[in-house]
Amino acid sequence: MSLWRQLVRGLTALTNRAASDRAIDDEVRHYYEETVAAHLARGLSQDEAKRAARIEMGNPTVVAEQVRDYGWENLVATSLSDLRYSARVLRRTPVFAMVVILVVSLGSGAVATVFSALNALVLRPIAGIRDADRLLTLSPIRSDGLILQQGSFADYSFLRSRSQTVSDLAAWGKVSLTIAGAGEGTIVWGNMVSGNYFDALHVRPHLGRFFSFDEDRTPLAQPVIVVSHAFWSSRLGGDPGVVGRAILVNGHPFTLIGIAPRHFRGIYTGIRADAWVPLMMQPLLRPRADLATSSWLWMFGRLKDRVPIESAQAEFPSLVTTHARESGEAQGPAGFRSMRVFHFTGLPGGEGVMVVRFLGVLLAAAALVLLIAGVNVAAMLTARSIGRARELAMRAALGAGRIRLARQVLTEILLLFLCGAVGGWMLALLATNALEHVSLPANLPILIELSPDARVLIFSICSALAVGVVFGLVPAVRAARLDITAQLRDGAGDSRWRPSLVNRMLIVGQLSLSLVLLVSAGLFTRSLVRGQQIDPGFQMAGVVTTSFETESWGYNQTRAQAFYAALRSRIQSIPGVIDVSYVSRLPLTGGSTTEEIQIDGATIGVHIAAVDAGYFSTLRMPIVQGRAFLRLDDERSERVAIVNESLARRLASDRNAIGRTFRFLGKPTTIVGIVGDAKYATLGESTPLFAYFPIAQKWQPTQSLLVRTNGDAEWIGPAIEHVVLALDPAVPRPHVASMKEATAIVLLPQRVAALVTGVLGAVGLALAAVGLYGMMAYSVQRRSREMGIRFALGAQRSTVVGMVVREGLTLAVLAIVIGVSLAAAAAQAIQGFLFNVSPLDSATFATMSLVFLSIASVASYLPARRAAVSDPIAALRAE
């Protein structure tokens, strides 16, 4: 009630200042008149009564002033007038204002751009999902603590039937689908989902409906499909009439029952899904027997009402134990021992932390640029405050309070930073737009909309204003502590001006911060170079690759095998082709397949790949012992395997591993060869135990083709496309890329970090160098009289140049000392993202310090030379 009154009265007073002032004046006048009347009644004359009244109550104008000062609206009113005054002052010096705004924009833009990425990947709620705070994701944990993320259908069914804390436990797996709607077939990434998937997310269809109960219960009974809004509008012409019609999915007729809401692309940010089919259609769309037991399903659920997440976090690990006991296996059917429950985010449980840490590093780098910009502006402001001292002194002499003066100076600075924040936001718009168009390795279903939204705008304004307050305080306090009389007496300014301690500190500060950025950029770049130099254990040069998803074309195993065989023989006959082979999973693409082998009663977890004959010669991998796979190693012959050196040592440290037999998927398998160790999933990994099996003995419908050619491989791409389409014109056009391109994602974090810190480092160094240059130039200009005298007394030009340069370089050297220690600390923080590079890599530190020193020399030499060519007579006469 009273708060309401405060607000209403305040706003009334604010909007109708004149009326409320008049009311106060009237009241004070009435009081005065009554006082006069009282004195008249006591017998004083008119004049005497007026005098007495004035003595008694004081000057009525002052009283009215005092009453008017009450209320919060006065703060607003004075702030507004400060703002108007600031705008006027800044309009008088447009160049200065523009430079400051530009500098702040650069810093703020850097922060806003990185924050946009963080926002898009982590913070922004996923479109279409409601009440996301009640959702959770389940991640199985392997016995060695690794977060697996996926579980099997058996695990899912058990958990779904037993959980008491979660109302809708949903599961989904990836599936690639070829949809033939109108026109040619399109390959899209789809999700195979449990029937309650959309219900659990509280997603409502844009058109039609989502899956019903029986579509979730009976295998193969209901071939139905839901497509994304984007797919519907681009491929199906946005026609509402298509709902209810049949479309061909992997060659089978499916009924299109619904359109997902606009922007809903599945639950993981950046991984795009265009179609959803029920899990019950799995035997048709991914016809493999092992999908009941292998782990390929992500799981998430919605908490029951009033159940806290802690209950679910307690429930699921114990359910996993129960499940393992009931199914009679020590570790649970898929080899996982426990389960972690995470709050639902747009990122898979384990990866979220890494992404956030990585973006945190980049955000810190961007914040450094903003800080440099802040220091830079503070330096400019202190330099200008010397020129403005007279104006401020004049205002103080006219009665402006010191607090009021300080507030006005701060308002001016905050106005500049506010404009800078808006400028930064616009820079971020441009930068994120450019980033979205950076082409990623092909075939990845990645879609990230980085565009900054209101949250980014608010964040950049807040961060810029915070920096503005910190660096605006110095000039503001200075304004309040100004010595008025001294300023008004010799208004000409101090001809002996030298950069003050504060100025020097600010310059050294921004120089050292920019060195931190430079060193980080250097470390990331070096790490990228080292990463590219890491010997993966095979030769990528001269090899091109492309992947085929025969399942999604509706091929069965016989037809797919015939296709792969025909493709191989046709490509092999192309002149210039040296080797052709297939592999189940391309190395260095981040993922791996793990299985178990049994030998001598022990179970060993190994990473595996199924490869075709000729794989090792195509990639130039050395067979250390034994033989490579042959065409003869097919399903009719003896089961064979080739192991890497690490696995060979593990299996038979003292004896020859060749000829030994282990059990794999229940079948005795003989080791026929040992191949050199290599990198498999990532470049940073420590060499895993690895086993290769002939693809003919361990059938995989999805395979990557590898083709080695002699020399230039430009021409081979179209040739492969031609052969594939000649074999079956209905299949999607393959995308052929060099192996280097196809595996580029393995160094993506280093590439991004090197690029971002490189750009930020350059911006930071440029700002700092301009700051140093500006201070030296200003100093030289203010000291022109001193220079004149020096020349007049016979000083050599080189001496004067040396003096000025030495002054600049002293600051630079000091900045190197501080910057190197700061960079050493920062490098520890980014250590986890570096490859084969010590965080204290001396070469990087030395190189970057040298680069830094040379830029600083240039920034000090230019003003020095200007001092040297100035005319001593003119300089002396000007005074």
Binding residues vs another protein (CB under 8 A)? 1-2, 5-6, 9, 23-24, 26-28, 30-31, 33-35, 37-38, 57-58, 62-63, 66-67, 69-71
Nearer to another protein, 21 or 596 (CB): 21
Residue 651: which of 638, 662, 639 has the closest Cα?
662
Distance CA 550, CA 872 (A): 85
Residue 173: which of 281, 246, 312, 247 has the closest Cα?
281
The CB-of-72 to another protein minimum distance in angstroms stands at 10
Yes or no: say if 91 and 379 are a contact pair by the CB < 8 Å rule: no
Nearer to another protein, 32 or 497 (CB): 32
> What's CA 271's distance to the chain center, in Å?
15
Please list the helix, strand and coil fractions of the chain in percent, rounded to the nearest 5, in that order: 55, 15, 30
The CB-of-15 to another protein minimum distance in angstroms stands at 16
The CB-of-405 to another protein minimum distance in angstroms stands at 25
Nearer to another protein, 54 or 649 (CB): 54
The CB-of-39 to another protein minimum distance in angstroms stands at 12
The CB-of-29 to another protein minimum distance in angstroms stands at 10
Nearer to another protein, 23 or 624 (CB): 23
Tokens, residue 815: 């900045």
202 backbone φψ class: left, alpha, beta (φ>0; ψ -120 to 50):
left
Residue 542: which of 584, 582, 590, 576 has the closest Cα?
576
Nearer to another protein, 58 or 590 (CB): 58
The CB-of-43 to another protein minimum distance in angstroms stands at 17
Residue 738's alpha-carbon distances to 442, 490, 732, in angstroms, are: 11, 74, 19
Distance CA 299, CA 836 (A): 36
Nearer to another protein, 23 or 440 (CB): 23
Nearer to another protein, 30 or 263 (CB): 30
Nearer to another protein, 76 or 230 (CB): 76
Tokens, residue 264: 């809903």
Distance CA 500, CA 506 (A): 10
Nearer to another protein, 30 or 343 (CB): 30
Residue 139's alpha-carbon distances to 149, 342, 357, 589, in angstroms, are: 4, 8, 20, 22
CB neighbours of 355 closer than 8 A, spacing ≥ 6? Answer: 121, 122, 347
Query: Per DSSP, what are the bridge partners of residue 190?
Result: 175, 275
Burial of 394 (0-12, 13-18, 19+ CB in 10 A): middle
Nearer to another protein, 5 or 636 (CB): 5
The CB-of-40 to another protein minimum distance in angstroms stands at 11
Q: What is the per-residue DSSP string for 805-826?
A: HHHHHHHHHHHHHHHHHHHHHH
The CB-of-32 to another protein minimum distance in angstroms stands at 8
Nearer to another protein, 20 or 86 (CB): 20
The CB-of-504 to another protein minimum distance in angstroms stands at 48
The CB-of-53 to another protein minimum distance in angstroms stands at 10
The CB-of-347 to another protein minimum distance in angstroms stands at 50
Backbone angles phi, psi at 572, to 5 degrees: -60, -30
> What's CA 228's distance to the chain center, in Å?
26
Distance CA 396, CA 424 (A): 35
